[in-house]
A and B are shown apart, each in its own frame.
Chain A
Amino acid sequence: MTVVTNAAEEVVLRVNELSLEYRLRGAGPKTLRAVDGVSLELRRGETLGLVGESGCGKSSLVRTIFDINVPSSGSVEVFGQRLAELRPKDRRQLRNRVQMIFQDPYSALDPRLSAHEIVAEPLRIARRYSKDRVVELLESVGLSAEVMDRRPAAFSGGQRQRLGIARALALDPDVLVLDEPVSALDVSVQAQVINLLKDLQQRLGLAYLFIAHDLSVVRHISDRVAVMHLGQIVETGTAEEIFANPVHPYTRSLLSAAPVPDPRARSSRRRVVLAGELPDAARRPSGCSFRTRCPIAQEQCSQQDPTLVSTGSPTHQHACHFPEDSQRSVAPAMT
Chain B
Amino acid sequence: MSTEPILDVQDLTVVYQDDRGRDVPLVEDISFTVLPREVLCIVGEAGSGKSVTMLAVMGLLPPELHITSGSIRYRGEELVGMPEKRRRALRGKEMGMVFQDPMTALNPVKSVGSQIGRALSVHNRRLAWGDRDQRVAELLASVGVPQPKRRSRLYPHEWSGGMRQRAVIAMAIANSPSLLVADEPTTALDTTVQAQVMEALETARETSDAAMVMITHDLALVAQVADRVAIMYSGSFVETGSVYEIFDSAQHPYTKGLLASILTEYSDTNAAFAIPGSPPAPSQRPEGCAFAPRCTSAGKDAACLERPALLPMPGSGERQRAAACHHPGTELLNAPYAAPAAERAGAR
Q: Within 8 Å of chain A (Cβ to Cβ): is B17?
A: no
A277 touches B162 (CB 8 A): yes
Residues of A within 8 Å of B258, CB to CB, are 187-188
Q: Which residue of A157, A253, A263 contacts B244 across the interface (Cβ within 8 Å)? A: A263
In the docked arrangement, what's the CA distance between A198 and B45, Å?
24
Given A195-B337, A266-B223, A271-B195, decide whether A147 and B345 contact each other with a Cβ distance below 8 A: yes
Say which one of B59-67, B76-84, B275-283, B306-314 lies at the interface with A: B275-283
Interface size band for B = 35 or more
Q: Taking the nearest CB of chain A, how far is it from the CB of B140, in angstroms?
A: 15
B226 touches A156 (CB 8 A): no
B263 touches A219 (CB 8 A): yes
B348 touches A260 (CB 8 A): no
CB interface residues, A 174-227, toward B, < 8 Å: 186-192, 194-196, 198-199, 213-217, 219-220
Residues of A within 8 Å of B162, CB to CB, are 277
CB interface residues, B 145-204, toward A, < 8 Å: 160-163, 190-196, 198-199
Q: Which residue of A139, A214, A266, A277 contacts B340 across the interface (Cβ within 8 Å)? A: A139
Residues of A within 8 Å of B335, CB to CB, are none
Residues of A within 8 Å of B294, CB to CB, are 188
Q: Within 8 Å of chain B (Cβ to Cβ): is A76?
A: no
CB interface residues, B 308-348, toward A, < 8 Å: 336-337, 340-341, 343-345, 347-348
B271 touches A195 (CB 8 A): yes
Q: Within 8 Å of chain B (Cβ to Cβ): is A142?
A: yes
Q: Within 8 Å of chain A (Cβ to Cβ): is B131?
A: no
Q: Within 8 Å of chain B (Cβ to Cβ): is A286?
A: no
Q: Which residue of B195, B262, B264, B278 contacts A157 across the interface (Cβ within 8 Å)? A: B278
Residues of B within 8 Å of A260, CB to CB, are 220, 223-224
CB interface residues, A 295-335, toward B, < 8 Å: 334
Residues of A within 8 Å of B261, CB to CB, are 187-188, 190-191
Q: Taking the nearest CB of chain B, how far is it from the CB of A253, in angstroms?
A: 6
Interface size on A, residues (CB 8 A): 54
In the docked arrangement, what's the CA distance between A261 and B216, Å?
13
Residue of A nearest to B278 (CB): A156
A192 touches B274 (CB 8 A): yes
Q: Within 8 Å of chain A (Cβ to Cβ): is B19?
A: no
Residue of B nearest to A259 (CB): B220
B262 touches A261 (CB 8 A): yes
A188 touches B265 (CB 8 A): no
Q: Which residue of B218, B274, B345 contacts A191 across the interface (Cβ within 8 Å)? A: B274
Q: Within 8 Å of chain B (Cβ to Cβ): is A18?
A: no
Q: Which residue of A186, A190, A263 contacts B279 across the interface (Cβ within 8 Å)? A: A186
Q: Within 8 Å of chain A (Cβ to Cβ): is B32?
A: no
A194 touches B196 (CB 8 A): no
Given A157-B46, A220-B272, decide whether A144 and B265 contact each other with a Cβ distance below 8 A: no
In the docked arrangement, what's the CA distance between A54 and B224, Å?
24
Residues of B within 8 Å of A156, CB to CB, are 278-279, 348
Q: Taking the nearest CB of chain B, how far is it from the CB of A249, in angstroms?
A: 12
A261 touches B274 (CB 8 A): no
Q: Taking the nearest CB of chain A, how far is it from the CB of B44, in angstroms?
A: 9
Q: Which residue of A142, A194, A266, A274 contacts B272 across the interface (Cβ within 8 Å)? A: A194
Q: Which residue of B271, B279, B344 contacts A188 across the interface (Cβ within 8 Å)? A: B279
Given A141-B340, A198-B271, A213-B190, decide whether A261 and B46 contact each other with a Cβ distance below 8 A: no
Residue of B nearest to A186 (CB): B45
Residues of A within 8 Å of B219, CB to CB, are 187, 261
CB interface residues, B 219-246, toward A, < 8 Å: 219-226, 243-244
Residues of B within 8 Å of A54, CB to CB, are 161, 190
Footprint of A on B, CB under 8 Å?
A: 45-46, 160-163, 190-196, 198-199, 217-226, 243-244, 247, 254, 257-259, 261-265, 267, 269-276, 278-279, 294, 336-337, 340-341, 343-345, 347-348
Footprint of B on A, CB under 8 Å?
A: 53-54, 139-144, 147, 150, 154-159, 162, 186-192, 194-196, 198-199, 213-217, 219-220, 243, 253-254, 257-266, 271-272, 274, 277, 334
What 10 A-B pairs have minimum CB-CB distances, sorted nearest first?
A142-B340, A191-B274, A259-B220, A257-B195, A156-B278, A186-B45, A188-B275, A261-B220, A53-B190, A192-B274
